Amino acid sequence: PYAGAFNAYVAEELAFASDLPYEVMTSLYETWDYSKHQNQYVNVAETMREAMSKNPALRVLVANGYYDLATPYFATEYTFDHLELDPGLRENITMTYYEAGHMMYIHDESLAQLATDLRDFVQR
């Protein structure tokens, strides 16, 4: 639904024409190994919770693009809000936001902010 809605929006509302439709999932993903998730929805939240619980020093930087159609930021927020982590571990999660899509690094202003955020995160 996302790709169809986005393609309709850019074609009809923005009058943008292209022979290449926007695709959320392409054949590239056919090479990914989903053996641990066969016949079920892929949810790595439990893996994240386990890793953070087993290693209390683990810090996570989550870079969110406001216009990301592949992994919407609000779904990411929801997932991290529901990890059932020990409250003391929540401070190890840093959420950052950018005025860009999934690949915020191709947007110059977002790239500069991402570089600053990464530098700050690593130096903490």
* pLDDT tens column, 94-109: 999 999 999 999 899 9
pLDDT beyond 70 at 1: no
Domain residue ranges of the chain, discontinuous segments joined by +: 43-123
Nearest to 74 by CA among 51, 108, 97: 97
CATH of domain 43-123: 3.40.50.11320
pLDDT in tens, 18-74: 988 788 777 777 887 878 777 777 788 999 999 999 999 999 999 999 999 989 999
Can you give the pLDDT at residue 71? 92
pTM here?
0.70
